[in-house]
Structure 1
Amino acid sequence: MSVPLHLYPHLRIHQVFGANTDVGKTLFTTALCLAETQFAAQGKQVHYLKPVSTGPSTTADARHLRIHAPALSRTSTLIQYPDALSPHLAARKAFPDESQNIPKDHDVQTGISSWIGETAALSPASYSALAEDVTRRHVLYLETAGGVHSPSPSGSSQATLLRPFRLPTILVGSPHLGGISATISAYESLMLHGFDVDAILLLSEPHGSERWGNSEYLAKWAEERAHHGLRFWSIGGPSRLPDSSSSIWGPPPEKGSNSDEQDFEHMQSWYRGLVNGDPSMEPSSADPTATRGLLDVVKHLEHRHVSRLQNLDSLAQRTRDVCWWPFTQHEQFKTNDDVTVIDSAHGDMFVSYRSLSSASKAAPQSSLLSPLLDSSASWWTQCLGHSHPQTALAAAKAASRYGHVIFPGAANEPATRLSELLLGRDQAVSSAVAPWASRVFFSDDGSTGTEVAFKMAISSAEARYSTSAGQTGQSLLRQATSDAAPAAGAPKVERPSTSSYATAQTSVIRAPLTPAVLGLRGSYHGDTIGAMDASEPSVYNARVPWYTGKGAWLGAPVIRFKDGQATVEADLEHGHEDEWDLISEKLGSVPDAKAKLAWQMPYASLSDAYNVAARLQNDPLADIYREHLRRLLRRISEEHAVVGANGSGGFRFSALVLEPVILGAGGMRFVDPLFQRVLVDIVRDEGEEIFGMWDDIPALSKRGEGRRTPAIASSGDGSWRGLPIVFDEVFTGLYRLGFQSPSRSILGVNPDILVLAKILTGGLVPMSVTLASQSIFDTFTFAGSTKVDALLHGHSYTAHAVGCEVARETLHILGKMEQQGDWKHAQAGWMRTSPSSPNQTPEAGTAAAPIWSFWAAEAVESLSKSEKVRSAMALGTVLVIELVDENGGYASSAATDILKTLRTQPVRDIIGEDASDADFSIHARPLGNQRRYDERSRLC
């Protein structure tokens, strides 16, 4: 849930934090309010808000403000507890038997936001927004309670409570012994939570009796951070000496005069001096700002406010001038209003800035900031929400401990512990991401992670297959009719025998056939060269001259949900019209050219369609898929095995590469998991017979039965079989689809190589891991191997400690959420279509885990019944709405108008309901005629 956010041209807002209790927070807030009213032209309004206060109302901070700054326009306390305790204890004591009455953080945030919004609306706007004028711009000071991390009524940190607003911050330092450490610690805590600290204020010690030296130290410390906009002031006021007419400048006077009126006058005198300074004294070297008063402070705060407006208002144009956006046609961004300016992000929301020119067309007192739902999870990287305090702290810890250290031949604790966690060797964690794997290879992102996977797979397949049985491998000329011996002096290496074809001694001379992959049409594995070549020609690579697709890509049936009916169906694709003939014939289905469907099969529910274990036993499609794939794979093998007379063509298939369950960026297609499972099984069980060895290619039979090959190697040792299986779970892995491992929980099968990224680091920093089985690792490391036999791939920031530490923290948080049942409510909404318990996560080969989604089943069904929707599908955090469009695919523009409406109008206005929790817009990116949304693992 979100709340309205606040940045105004006409109203300057500051929140005042303290390094601790009893540091002068209320004193400085009062003095700042007095300074604002003193340096004010007619009509300027000054406001004060205390969200949470504890203690008797007679000593409340707001009462102190009303007494000493009576000219304030509005002064309020939202929550006042009678006991002078920490807010969480005071709230508990106020409601000892009614804990449900203790306000949640969102309740407090809503109250704060409403009060600020009302204040902004009451403050007239009638001057240039970017003119620095402390006398005219209205101002609001929000005073916090206690220290930076003092608890809110619910028990969360106060810094966390106020983080959604990210108001410009004033920190009141501690003047006491130990105050240097307390002040710096408070500053760093605020920085870690994403706040901008504009000023640090410190009550000065009495002149001539500086005992602790806090001012001198902190002044030099703050000067080193001036480039962040930070300024430091140590300021005091005049206190009359006992039995004397003279005064000393420093802390406020102690109470104890003959009357309350005299105490009040002494305090007022101190405030006047604090505001105006002591013009009769020169600043001392020990305390260079002690006598200047608060005018400079107010001017600095005004300057920072205007600078923020200027920076945000120019950000769109500056970005258009210097940045090159990915996957973006710049020609479509003709004005600055077309650019989404993001001031910050928190939880599920961007904090989006609306330009001053756009705001001028709306209500003059409206905020320039608004919440914008990050519906694509920032390209599917988010899972815990933006600016999560635990992952931010993990990153800071690793950065401070290591920075970055080299990884090859070295060890750092975060990398090793993350690897142990992923492989199931961390005794403190009950479940492993990939217990079948033996090694973890680190890289930078999903694309480079798949590059590594392809190198692993291709090298492993080549080591096993690129030899004649019992003979050293021979290289063929790129002609169908001539042979050539290996080049003189060709190096030999010793590799362990893993196949009936392999011998201990093989040649590193490459066979003439080009290494290639098997995959599915619509796949996408990244934008580096090797990753691009592993996908079929598409809009992604159409304009890339060096693209040379190296593979064969099969059509795949998809699951759609339309009018409340789940179906498995195959699309008719241009150039592949006959691919589904066998299945159509077996099912007795007639292709529908108008609907562009080759065949369809209905299912009682989505859960039935995703129950792969049951379908393998009972669904007629399982045997039909087997027959279809055997025939198709043999045909592909034969078509690509022959090298033409001109040396062209010819593939040696080295890996099966799949995105389990969903083809992501290639179209958000929900592939029938049974099809993927049968494909994996056939490649493993029959791949060696189908694809055979490479260096000497037997003649093909006239009947097209494929190569004649020796017996298939035994798989009893746990080695990969057929071809190495690569699962690209960059998008789908790590709970994106509701399961830690969608391949294990839905397909019921493990790969030989697995690529993970995106969610891995909680959306904070780039990192990818490629996990491999022992038999894959053994390809590169064996008795007698040298450096040239190693996997010669790496990145400057391989296994960087920051990413590893953040990844461990992310996986810990996600695992804890699963164990605590944080998602049970969402899972329960899908139970009506699933006979199993949502807590079951079966191993490979057992009963399937029931599918579920954070998106309500009723909402998905309702969407599926829209005339404009071809299909609405949801799994885990993902919701995909496929629109009816004649020109489907990535190049389609069907979603453009919808996107503009979502981005520019609040959801409340779109749905036509006055919902307090729908006061946000939606940022989304289309995939052609498809809209996809991603709900974070933490529901709002």
Structure 2
Amino acid sequence: MSHLYKQLRIHQVFGANTDVGKTIITTALVRASALNNNRVFYLKPVSTGAPQDADDEHIKRHAGPQKHLVDAHCLFRYGDPVSPHLAVKMASETQGGLKVSVPSDETFVGSVAEHIRKRARLASGPGHMYVETAGGVHSPTLSGTTQLDTYRPLFLPTILIGDSRLGGISSTISSFESLLLRGYIVDAIILFRDEYYRNFEYLTQYFAERGTHVTALDPPPPRLDSAENVANTEKYYSDLVPDTLKGDIFTALEHLDECHAKRIEELDSMPRRTLDAIWWPFVQHGLVKTEKDVSVIDSAWSDFFSIYDTSSGRTSPSQPKSLLQPQLDGSASWWTQAVGHAHPTLTLAAANAAGRYGHVMFPQATHLPALKLAERILQGPGKGWASRVFFSDNGSTGMEVALKMALRSFIVNSGLELSSAEKKNLGIVGLRGSYHGDTIGAMDACEEGVYTCEWHEAKGYWFEPPTVSIQQGRVAISLPPALSPLTGDQQTVEEFETLSHVYDVGQRLESPLAKHYRQYLDKHIHTLQADGTRKLAALVIEPIVMGAGGMIFVDPLFQRIMVDVVRDPTLFLTPLPVIFDEVFVGLYRLGFESAGPILGINPDISVNAKILTGGTLPLAVTLASDRIFSAFKSESKVDALLHGHSYTAHAVGCQVANATLDLVSRLVESDLWVAAVRKWAPEGASATTTRVWSFWDPEFIASISCLDVVDEAMALGTVLAIKFKDDDAGYASHSAQTLLQSLRLPLDDGSTSAAPGGAPFGVHYRTLGNVAYFMSSLNTPRATIEALEDRLWRLVSNIRRS
């Protein structure tokens, strides 16, 4: 991941094009750094062409009078003077057809990262390092991935070498914007002072208005085909980098040093400033004692944060560590990540829509991103039942919309003449432990609990659900006390051969347990109806998993029968509208697009958010059937769904959502998914209606569920939950947080790391009382998950229950 050292300033050098003078200007920087008595390291990760013409050799020749302070290296060298991706292919051809291994992006970046770490250990005092790229910013690396994306995990601050030639203004600005779109820090632009095209004049003013430093340097003399060229070049460098330590190059050097110092100073001040200014959600500030309790996230990439670690800066000079340490985003940033942080496809989609639309009014209007998204959502999770899509800001507001839809449609379709008081007293049926967001209406659709507020008025009835888990290595359904007597004895656990059998709801509908569920629900809902205290108007459930309630994996059969019961004409003259809150579980978080096919039944209304925009920005969609939509349709304005948000269907979010769904549709067919499915449901196993599976290893889940401190474990899709034994279980418990606290620290014991660049990594995780949960993206490499499984196993297996 990112590298930042107190004593070693590192900059990566990109060019606005090929042949713009990257190596010449970098040589000048190296020479100036050495003249300032800095230890200087130069790295050319990939070099193509004749060895004598290699850039690292040029650096060595012209490092100046302090060349003993300069260390220059190249990691991957190929003989043909072509693009690196082509050089690898040509190397294979010149070796008689023998296959030449192409380093993956991970291997390539890991090699660069390891070289940086080794050089940091050599720089016992102040030092500078320059990592020079090849060609332009989007020139491909060995794998064919463009440089901007390949190097992004390292997140090194950059110097852009501008183009002083004809057309160079455009290529320089375009390159600068490409760097910004991928989150790079551009500390300076340096280019030659061409007196004919005078690009430097325009670019200096252009970038000054954007707060970016520009330095113009005298151009080199024309290249000569003789030994005289070396002498001419050396004289040029002597003039450009005089031993008086004065001139434009030293001004640029001073600016780069200031940028480095200011970045560290800012990072160092952020914990205190945060404690003085921020009110966090779901955090008891009374428990945040020191600045060390604040996680400073400098950047993020793929599944990892880059965390500022002040303790690293206090290590011995002989063993310095980067001030930035990788930390696995173990909660997928509150369940939002779909394809990893800062995915360039999503970034570009957002930028494109922002540039085309900004934000535009949506009522009685349309734009292409919103229309395309609505159409594909109707053909995705809404296929076969939904007819309309309503846009809102986030999951909680999407649920507010869903509740409004359900209550109005119940009143209209039931034909009941209700008083104002009776309308306000309408209630819902749900499950204990449910959570639908923090807005007031969504809170009222849950029983009173830790998330509710002083105005909370629980409007409904919530059944305690039976749950699915792995206990002592066996698949089990645990029945709550209210359901246990229905089995004819006091047994509270029913075991199954595999998870697939549990989620084969169609096969289980005629089972004895199904009959018990139906009997129980029929009886209690009939009693609620007859009581008359509150008229039931909707069923609201989080299908399959109730997230915030404690990662409660509900028996899908129980939820299916709940839907069947509220649609039973012998109990309800008009079927109750059914809402699926799929904000958390929808769009493949659990390995399937929506819960409908698992339960074997569709809702009337459903809500999707979280994964919808790939963790880039908030957006939610509420899907409704035609029956729900028709309840609002008339000739009167007051009958309309008078609900909306200023940023309804914002084009940026819709464009990102479309790009996310494109990526996800390809992931579903990927080798990563196929391999994971086969582990849980190998070929030849008995077929079920829907195969359930997880990215987490089934043997790991079974093994960890057998540990003494573990009550149960469970996994589906990207989600892993471990419930620890605790006499004081519940949201207020700190047991899971306490037991796993060492996960946050990197395990630097020589074990294999799956963090970008190969560095040991810590784990950022969230807990829900005595439940710890972990969540991957939809494309997290298996190696990363295995590394976390290994960390968890080593930690949890060594915990002894008191």
TM band (smaller chain): over 0.9
Compare relative contact order (CA 8 Å, sep 6+) and give the higher one, 1 or 2.
2
Per the alignment, residue 285 of structure 1 pairs with none
Cα offsets for 1:534-584 (capped at 9, x unmatched): 00111112xx21011111101110011011111111234xxxxxx32xxx3
Alpha-carbon distance, 1:362 to partner: 9.6
Per the alignment, residue 717 of structure 1 pairs with none
Per the alignment, residue 645 of structure 2 pairs with 795
Per the alignment, residue 455 of structure 2 pairs with 546
Alpha-carbon distance, 1:432 to partner: 5.5
Which residue identity lines up with residue 865 of structure 1 in the other structure?
C
Distance 1:834 1:758, change over 3 A: farther
1:79-90 to structure 2, matched below 5 A, reads 79-90=76-87
Cα offsets for 1:41-74 (capped at 9, x unmatched): xxx3111001111111111101111111133432
Per the alignment, residue 22 of structure 1 pairs with 19
| Structure 2 residue 355 is the aligned partner of structure 1 residue 400 | yes
Match of 1:674 among 547, 551, 557: 557
| Structure 2 residue 176 is the aligned partner of structure 1 residue 187 | yes
Contact 1:18 1:148 in 2 (8 A): yes
Alpha-carbon distance, 1:300 to partner: 0.2
Alpha-carbon distance, 1:820 to partner: 4.3
Per the alignment, residue 543 of structure 2 pairs with 660
Contact 2:51 2:79 in 1 (8 A): yes
Match of 2:490 among 583, 587, 590: 590
Which residue identity lines up with residue 581 of structure 2 in the other structure?
D
Distance 1:340 1:524, change over 3 A: same
Per the alignment, residue 779 of structure 1 pairs with 631
Contact 2:15 2:136 in 1 (8 A): yes
Per the alignment, residue 522 of structure 1 pairs with 433
Alpha-carbon distance, 1:510 to partner: 5.9
CA distance in 1, matches of 2:544, 2:418: 40
Cα offsets for 1:319-345 (capped at 9, x unmatched): 111011001001111111111110000
| Structure 2 residue 576 is the aligned partner of structure 1 residue 723 | yes
| Structure 2 residue 104 is the aligned partner of structure 1 residue 107 | no
Contact 2:381 2:587 in 1 (8 A): no
| Structure 2 residue 527 is the aligned partner of structure 1 residue 635 | yes
Q: Which runs of 5+ in 2 are unaligned?
A: 782-802
| Structure 2 residue 188 is the aligned partner of structure 1 residue 199 | yes
CA distance in 1, matches of 2:670, 2:738: 41
3-state SS, counterpart of residue 667 of structure 1: coil
Which residue identity lines up with residue 175 of structure 2 in the other structure?
A
Contact 1:433 1:740 in 2 (8 A): no
| Structure 2 residue 54 is the aligned partner of structure 1 residue 65 | no
CA distance in 2, matches of 1:149, 1:413: 29
CA distance in 2, matches of 1:600, 1:779: 43
CA distance in 1, matches of 2:199, 2:111: 37
Per the alignment, residue 36 of structure 2 pairs with 39
| Structure 2 residue 50 is the aligned partner of structure 1 residue 56 | yes
Contact 1:589 1:600 in 2 (8 A): no
Distance 1:309 1:790, change over 3 A: same
| Structure 2 residue 307 is the aligned partner of structure 1 residue 352 | yes
Match of 1:217 among 188, 202, 213: 202
Alpha-carbon distance, 1:855 to partner: 0.6
Which residue identity lines up with residue 212 of structure 1 in the other structure?
Y
Distance 1:98 1:792, change over 3 A: farther
CA distance in 1, matches of 2:15, 2:291: 39
CA distance in 2, matches of 1:624, 1:614: 16
Per the alignment, residue 726 of structure 2 pairs with 885
Q: CA-atom RMSD, angstroms?
A: 2.0
Q: Which runs of 5+ in 1 are unaligned?
A: 126-136, 237-249, 280-290, 425-430, 468-472, 476-508, 573-578, 592-598, 642-649, 692-711, 713-720, 838-846
3-state SS, counterpart of residue 694 of structure 2: coil
Per the alignment, residue 815 of structure 1 pairs with 665
CA distance in 1, matches of 2:236, 2:169: 25
CA distance in 1, matches of 2:662, 2:350: 14
| Structure 2 residue 412 is the aligned partner of structure 1 residue 446 | no
Alpha-carbon distance, 1:464 to partner: 2.1
3-state SS, counterpart of residue 327 of structure 1: coil
Per the alignment, residue 315 of structure 1 pairs with 270
Per the alignment, residue 767 of structure 1 pairs with 619
Number of aligned residue pairs: give it.
772
| Structure 2 residue 153 is the aligned partner of structure 1 residue 156 | no
Match of 2:599 among 716, 729, 747: 747
Per the alignment, residue 928 of structure 1 pairs with 769
Distance 1:170 1:547, change over 3 A: same
Bigger mean CA offset, 161-170 vs 816-825: 816-825
Distance 1:898 1:362, change over 3 A: farther
Alpha-carbon distance, 1:819 to partner: 3.3
Per the alignment, residue 479 of structure 1 pairs with none
Contact 2:432 2:447 in 1 (8 A): yes
Distance 1:512 1:523, change over 3 A: closer
Contact 1:359 1:368 in 2 (8 A): no
Alpha-carbon distance, 1:158 to partner: 0.7
3-state SS, counterpart of residue 530 of structure 1: helix
CA distance in 2, matches of 1:827, 1:408: 43
Which residue identity lines up with residue 91 of structure 2 in the other structure?
A
Match of 2:517 among 613, 619, 625: 625
**Structure with max Cα Rg:** 1
Cα offsets for 1:698-739 (capped at 9, x unmatched): xxxxxxxxxxxxxx4xxxxxxxx6100000000000000001
| Structure 2 residue 712 is the aligned partner of structure 1 residue 860 | no
Per the alignment, residue 508 of structure 2 pairs with 615
Contact 2:315 2:321 in 1 (8 A): no
Per the alignment, residue 237 of structure 2 pairs with 271
Alpha-carbon distance, 1:745 to partner: 2.9
Contact 2:526 2:571 in 1 (8 A): yes
Alpha-carbon distance, 1:202 to partner: 0.7
Contact 2:402 2:622 in 1 (8 A): yes
Contact 1:16 1:172 in 2 (8 A): yes
Percentage of identical aligned residues: 46
Alpha-carbon distance, 1:104 to partner: 0.4
3-state SS, counterpart of residue 886 of structure 1: coil
Match of 2:443 among 512, 532, 557: 532
CA distance in 2, matches of 1:375, 1:806: 23
Distance 1:776 1:119, change over 3 A: same
Contact 2:695 2:718 in 1 (8 A): yes
CA distance in 2, matches of 1:746, 1:160: 38
Per the alignment, residue 391 of structure 1 pairs with 346
CA distance in 1, matches of 2:398, 2:160: 44
Query: Which one has the bigger helix percentage?
Result: 2
Match of 2:223 among 254, 274, 280: 254
Distance 1:157 1:914, change over 3 A: closer
Contact 1:460 1:779 in 2 (8 A): yes
